[in-house]
DNA sequence: CCCATTTGACCGTC
DNA sequence: GACGGTCAAATGGG
């Protein structure tokens, strides 16, 4: 996979994702008319879980098809998307509503801290939809393993939820102009639209960011998928997750994102870090994902759970074995 | 002390 | 002038 092009990887990711979900569905026993609550088998999925999986399968294949159908030109796009991470970890942004266009690549604004809006407009832009569901966890390609820094939040006219703005942590040090916007969907609060703009010119994967003196302690990149599924499973079983009408307290804590395409080599574990949130106006609790290099998709979860607690291995992991 | 986040102010575009 | 996007000072956590 190392030498795959960006879009090949994305495509493969989508297919793997869909296949995985399909396998789960396949593995689960056919639904009995009177579903017993027995959770003896992890493969015994609730109807809700199946719906989620189904949705996942469908959307993965849709994404894959879109990629194949995409308007982008792979060759130029390749040039437009320097794999700063040297192919180690794919940049996950996968175009759903739009494909990265081959655009002029910024001439590495050695001076232009104030990137002109015209240039900004020319940056490639694509949107990814990220879905969070309490029982399933993250769905879909949702996270890049880049490090983002939030630089703003705005209430958007007509939108229920504010939009958050992120830029690459290495904007100043490496003149990396990648940005992303995250906005919760009005219609389906479990869906977040992540709009990426620009591509990373930084080299985050290979390099330990010099900004961070140390990579954060307990954050091996490997602690990802189980951590998330267990977390989210635990949320499902123990917490009230409200996905709309959020008011009052919400938490913001980064977790380690699972690159969904590398689900096989992943362990559980991880810790929460409550990074506080006291947005006086509305809310904006975030579960942002974070790795040694960080990143930050957003979820709004209103719950009462000690975010500083370590994830216990005993958490339910209904996806665990099949991943 | 360094870095990330928050949030009001500012700016460009429509 | 409204709106979206960004800046930057203030703040807080580690």
Domain around A168: 121-197
Cβ contact A197:A235 at 8 Å: no
3-state helix, strand, coil in chain A (%, to 5): 25, 15, 60
Evaluate whether residue A139 is within a structural domain. Answer: yes
Evaluate whether residue A236 is within a structural domain. Answer: no
Q: How far is the CA of A156 from the C1' of B11 (A)?
A: 17
A120 touches strand C (CB under 7 A): yes
Helix (H) or strand (E) holding A4: none
Q: How far is the CA of A163 from the C1' of C3 (A)?
A: 13
Encoded tokens for A98: 């739009």
Nearest to A164, CA basis, from A224, A252, A80: A252
A131 CB-contact burial (10 Å; exposed 0-12 / middle 13-18 / buried 19+): buried
Q: How far apart are CA A309 and CA A274, in angstroms?
A: 9
Encoded tokens for A89: 């970890």
Q: How far is the CA of A198 from the C1' of C10 (A)?
A: 29
Q: How far apart are CA A52 and CA A54, in angstroms?
A: 5
Cβ contact A146:A178 at 8 Å: yes
Q: How far apart are CA A259 and CA A163, in angstroms?
A: 24
A180 touches strand C (CB under 7 A): no
Cβ contact A98:A126 at 8 Å: yes
Q: How far is the CA of A249 from the C1' of B4 (A)?
A: 20
Q: How many domains does chain A divide into?
A: 1
Evaluate whether residue A62 is within a structural domain. Answer: no
pLDDT tens column, A118-170: 666 667 788 878 777 554 444 433 456 778 999 999 999 988 899 999 998 88
Q: How far is the CA of A156 from the C1' of C1 (A)?
A: 16
Nucleotide nearest to A217 (CA to C1'): C14
Evaluate whether residue A321 is within a structural domain. Answer: no
Evaluate whether residue A60 is within a structural domain. Answer: no
Q: How far apart are CA A10 and CA A140, in angstroms?
A: 11
Evaluate whether residue A191 is within a structural domain. Answer: yes
Nucleotide nearest to A162 (CA to C1'): C4
Per-residue pLDDT of chain A (323 residues; tens, 9 = 90+): 444 444 455 556 556 666 666 777 676 655 444 443 333 333 445 554 565 556 566 555 655 655 555 433 333 333 333 333 333 333 333 333 443 433 333 333 333 444 555 666 667 788 878 777 554 444 433 456 778 999 999 999 988 899 999 998 888 777 788 889 998 888 887 888 888 888 777 776 434 333 333 333 333 333 333 333 333 333 333 333 333 333 333 333 333 333 333 333 333 333 333 333 333 333 333 333 333 333 434 343 333 333 333 333 333 333 333 33
CATH of the domain at A160: 2.20.25.80
């Amino acid at each position: 996979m190392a030498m795959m092009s960006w879009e090949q990887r994305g495509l493969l990711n989508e297919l793997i994702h869909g296949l995985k979900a399909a396998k789960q569905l396949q593995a689960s026993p056919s639904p009995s008319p009177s579903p017993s609550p027995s959770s003896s088998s992890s493969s015994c999925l609730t109807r809700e879980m199946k719906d989620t999986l189904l949705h996942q399968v469908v959307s993965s294949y849709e994404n894959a098809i879109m990629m194949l159908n995409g308007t982008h030109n792979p060759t130029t796009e390749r040039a437009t998307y320097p794999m700063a991470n040297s192919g180690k970890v794919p940049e996950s942004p996968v175009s759903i509503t739009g494909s990265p266009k081959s655009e002029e690549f910024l001439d590495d604004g050695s001076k232009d801290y104030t990137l002109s809006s015209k240039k900004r407009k020319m940056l490639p832009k694509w949107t990814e939809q990220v879905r969070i569901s309490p029982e399933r966890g993250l769905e879909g390609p949702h996270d890049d393993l880049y490090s983002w820094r939030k630089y703003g939040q705005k209430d958007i006219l007509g939108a229920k939820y504010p939009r958050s703005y992120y830029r690459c942590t290495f904007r100043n040090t490496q003149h990396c102009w990648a940005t992303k916007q995250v906005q919760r969907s009005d219609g389906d609060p479990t869906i977040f639209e992540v709009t990426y703009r620009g591509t990373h010119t930084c080299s985050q994967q290979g390099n330990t960011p010099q900004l961070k003196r140390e990579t954060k302690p307990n954050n091996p990149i490997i602690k990802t998928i189980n951590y998330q599924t267990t977390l989210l499973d635990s949320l499902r079983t123990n917490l009230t997750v409200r996905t709309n009408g959020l008011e009052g307290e919400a938490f913001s804590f980064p977790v380690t994102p699972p690159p969904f395409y590398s689900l096989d080599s992943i362990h559980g574990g991880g810790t929460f870090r409550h990074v506080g949130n006291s947005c006086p106006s509305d809310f904006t609790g975030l579960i942002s994902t974070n790795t040694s290099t960080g990143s930050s998709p957003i979820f709004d979860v209103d719950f009462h759970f000690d975010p500083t607690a370590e994830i216990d291995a005993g958490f339910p992991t209904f996806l665990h074995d099949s991943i």
